[in-house]
Amino acid sequence: SIKNVRLWDIKNWELITNITKIYKTGYLYSASFLIDDDKNYIVTCNSSQKSEGIKIFDFYGVQTKEIPNSNEDTYFIDTYYDKKLFKYFILTGNIGYVKSYDFSTNKLYYKYFDKGNNRGHDSIIIDDSKEMVKLIDSSGDGFIRVWKFHGGILLNKISIGKYELRGICLWNSNYLFVGCTDNTIKLVEIANGLVMKSLVGYN
């Protein structure tokens, strides 16, 4: 099972850091960068329901801390810097819900939960282009959910159908590209939830 993270120099493709055997159980599912006060970190999560949580390493491969994540499978991890609060947050997509953590305190910030959804959340993106910061996530139950990031309030719930949803990409704060298990990428208008196009690129 995959439990390693490798950091490469893209100028010459030399291996800078190789962090091995990060988790004892499960496997490493996702990793992200976090740069705080000129210090560089790698943030990781895994697919284990044991006691291991979110692990943070410096670029030399030394673990700096671990944040408990309620003993659950975590499919996606990312980071977000709030320019108004001058704070970093860690975002995780888990079974049934999404979470945000305050990086400075290691504490849970909000839990974004929609009753009845017990499927995995495979991608998260932040839209802070306007006054209200929004968190958008894609789920295995075929829905895109738009949340108020500070407060955890569900603002919009968009049904894509019976397909599981994977990666999402935000375009101009008005549209999303969404990867679906029907082998398509769908272009979705966020305001009204309409699927504008269904792009077929592979089988």
Please compute, for residue 186, the number of CA atoms within 13 A of its CA located in the half-sphere on the CB side.
24
pLDDT of residue 32: 93
Q: How far apart are CA 90 and CA 67, in angstroms?
A: 10
pTM here?
0.89
Phi, psi of 100 (to 5 degrees): -125, 140
Question: What single-letter amino acid sits at 198?
Answer: S
- Would you say residue 119 has pLDDT above 70? yes
Closest by alpha carbon to 74, among 116, 131, 32? 32
User: What is the DSSP annotation of 33-64?
Assistant: EEEETTEEEEEEEES--SS--EEEEETTS-EE
> Alpha-carbon distance 122 to 132, whole Å?
23
Output 1 or 105, whichever has higher pLDDT: 105
More confident residue, 77 or 203: 77
Q: Check whether 115 has a pLDDT greater than 90.
A: no
- pLDDT band (50, 70, 90) for residue 47: confident
pLDDT per residue over 177-189, tens digit each?
Answer: 999 999 999 999 9
- pLDDT bracket for residue 51 (50, 70, 90): low
- Which pLDDT score is estimated for 135? 97
Q: 29: pLDDT confidence band, cut at 50, 70 and 90? A: confident
pLDDT, mean over the chain = 89
When pLDDT is averaged across residues 130-152 and rounded to a whole number, the result is 93
